[in-house]
Amino acid sequence: MRDALKLLTALLLLLVTPAVLAAAPVKPVPAPVPCALNTAHLHAQINGAINEEIRWQATQMSCEGLPRADGGFRLSFSGPYSAGTLTVLFGIPDLTAGQSTHALPVNLTLITSLGPIYGTRGTGKCTLDEVTQSLLPGQTKARTWQIEARGFCLDPARAVGGDDSVLVTTFELIGLLSEEPQT
């Protein structure tokens, strides 16, 4: 009798759960906080599981650039795309604050608001062609630079735990890069 009751309960849950989930309110994704740099932008061509031409401006996206724990910097851009919000992270282990350079390897991660996370899983698949940095005036606690960069990927970013992939063929960005002053 007890086993039959457990089986009946399990069957009812299977029948009721989809209806409950369908009736659950969908929480809207909050709009990104506009980037503090009014000239900031991210332009990127994305193909594959996500097919988008991203052309975000400062008022449409959030942006920041902070030191990575293991060296270098991580640039983050978050804005709207056809299926919700997309966050694009550039992990640049060889980037030094304030240094203009070229041909830097970069790790690229894309995070969608509705599902998969895509990553290049290493720095050998994407490259920053050219990087220019200029110190912003009026610095107090942290030093902040405007960073301009353009680059490309030759290999796709693969979905974590899945078979899908996306290829960011080209990208161009202007954003912020901040670090605490060295004492």
Distance CA 70, CA 68 (A): 5
Look at residue 151 in the predicted model and tell me its pLDDT: 97
- For the record, the structure tokens of 119 come out as 């990553």
Look at residue 157 in the predicted model and tell me its pLDDT: 97
Whether residue 167 is contained in a domain is answered as: yes
Secondary structure class of 149 (helix, strand, coil):
strand
Distance CA 176, CA 136 (A): 9
Whether residue 101 is contained in a domain is answered as: yes
Backbone torsions φ then ψ of 157, nearest 5 degrees: -90, 130
Whether residue 116 is contained in a domain is answered as: yes
Whether residue 175 is contained in a domain is answered as: yes
> Contact at 8 Å (CB) between 39 and 146?
yes
Whether residue 86 is contained in a domain is answered as: yes
Backbone torsions φ then ψ of 10, nearest 5 degrees: -65, -40
**How many structural domains is the chain composed of?**
1
> Contact at 8 Å (CB) between 142 and 181?
yes
Whether residue 90 is contained in a domain is answered as: yes
Whether residue 93 is contained in a domain is answered as: yes
Whether residue 18 is contained in a domain is answered as: no
145: exposed, middle or buried (Cβ count in 10 Å: 0-12, 13-18, 19+): buried
Per-block mean pLDDT, blocks of 10 residues, the chain (183 long)? 35 31 40 82 97 96 94 96 95 93 96 93 91 85 88 96 95 91 44
Q: Which domain holds residue 112?
A: 30-179
